[in-house]
Amino acid sequence: MINPIQTTFRNLFESSPLISFAPGRINLIGEHTDYQEGFVFPAAVKQGIWVAIQKNGLKSCRLYSLDFDQEFTFELDTLSPKKGHWATYVMGMVALLNQAGYSVSGFDMVFGGNIPVGSGLSSSAALSVAIGTAISGLFGFEIPKKSIALYGQKSEHLFAGVKCGIMDPYASAFGAKGKALLLDCRSNTHEEIPAEFGDYSLILVNSKVKHSLADTAYNKRREACEESVRLLSAHFPGIVTLRDIPSADMEKVETLLSAELYPKAKHLITECERVHEAAAALKLGNLSLFGELLKASHLSLSKDYEVSCPELDFLAEKSWEITDVIGSRMMGGGFGGCTINLVKSSRIMDFESRISSAYSARFGIVPDFIPVQIGSGASILKEPADTK
């Protein structure tokens, strides 16, 4: 992507840009735990967003999106981010940086990426982090990576209207080649864990569905967790969220919560434990155990947390039947999107054929297959040859 981004920038603005990159991310395990300050296990991927930027000496910012083939200009003294428009991500980051004391002046920008639409690889977080990295580099702000991630999260909250957790921008900023991040969503700190899969490869299967009840169900799950914490706090003094309750106390938790609340709390508590077990399994190179944990995560998300759907359950269950698949589970918020699968590299074509045939026969949809490799986090790829 770097060549078309650079060429387009020179053709439009007749100057040499600084170029930054920020990756999308996968989450190996740890779903719906972030908003209870739990643990997640993401990794950056090689797909991402590239941003070309250069000062223009104006009081305005001129933008071009390669993916949308659209131009957009905004004045720095009259910022008005528009929900639903791609330029909102640029304006949002500029507004937050200005509020934080970073004096951003006029610039030109071109950006584009290769993250498949609807893949769940978090293109919006990658865009925000790439923008923050580019602006920091161009103006010499030296903004810490964690701050860029937090600005990216806040920009989504305030300007895009998406109440996302810290995982997506954090993984994009801090990703490391060949490593997954054991991320604590309370302290916003992480440990790098080697993620080497030997003869196996990670591949996403896109169900190509997104059920409309996703947003409502998401809010209800959050409310259920918060209600459980309120009820349990009298019996578990000092707990702040469900992550503070060890799985050894599940029997006690079951006696204290209603039949409706208990399964949701159970998922949260056990999923946090599975994250740590998965990290330990990868440290030891125990892929078999890692695969078992992926399956357990899916079953918990489907049966206890109830955020799966028939299409995702079908894809996961069919994958479990294939001997060349170590593990499979739904990835992301649920009710559609992708499964993440660990498949023997030499048998990927057979895996794709079998899954595609079965899925299309059952649902009349041909799924997409997205191979992913764990890559590095955000960085400056090219300094400008000249500045204005």
The set of catalytic residues is 168
How distant is the alpha carbon of residue 248 from its chain centre?
30
Tell me: is residue 118 an annotated ligand-binding position: yes
Tell me: is residue 345 an annotated ligand-binding position: no
Tell me: is residue 133 an annotated ligand-binding position: no
Tell me: is residue 124 an annotated ligand-binding position: yes
Tell me: is residue 215 an annotated ligand-binding position: no
Task: Decide: residue 369, CB within 10 A, 0-12 exposed, 13-18 middle, 19+ buried.
Answer: middle
Concatenating the DSSP letter of every residue in 320-376 gives HT-TTEEEEEEESSSSEEEEEEEEEGGGHHHHHHHHHHHHHHHHS---EEEEE-B--
Tell me: is residue 69 an annotated ligand-binding position: no
Residue 339 CB-half CA count within 13 A: 33
Tell me: is residue 357 an annotated ligand-binding position: no
Tell me: is residue 387 an annotated ligand-binding position: no
Tell me: is residue 288 an annotated ligand-binding position: no
How distant is the alpha carbon of residue 320 from its chain centre?
24
**Gap between the Cα atoms of 381 and 20, Å rounded:** 5
Task: Decide: residue 91, CB within 10 A, 0-12 exposed, 13-18 middle, 19+ buried.
Answer: buried
Please state the φ and ψ torsions of residue 266, each to the nearest 5 degrees.
-60, -45
> Which pair of structure tokens corresponds to residue 124?
């919006």
What are the Cα distances from residue 130, in Å, to 136, 170, 273?
10, 12, 32
Tell me: is residue 277 an annotated ligand-binding position: no
Quick one: DSSP state of residue 101?
T
Tell me: is residue 196 an annotated ligand-binding position: no
CB atoms within 10 A of CB 259: 7
Quick one: DSSP state of residue 244?
G
Tell me: is residue 291 an annotated ligand-binding position: no
The answer to whether 173 and 148 have CB atoms below 8 angstroms apart is yes
The answer to whether 34 and 185 have CB atoms below 8 angstroms apart is yes
Tell me: is residue 300 an annotated ligand-binding position: no
**What is the edge-to-edge ordering of all strands in the sheet holding 179-184?**
39-40, 179-184, 189-194
CB atoms within 10 A of CB 158: 14
Tell me: is residue 20 an annotated ligand-binding position: no
Q: Which residues are annotated as a binding site?
A: 31-34, 65, 118-124, 156, 218
Q: Which residues are annotated as a binding site for substrate?
A: 31-34, 218
Q: Which residues are annotated as a binding site for ATP?
A: 65, 118-124
Q: Which residues are annotated as a binding site for Mg(2+)?
A: 124, 156
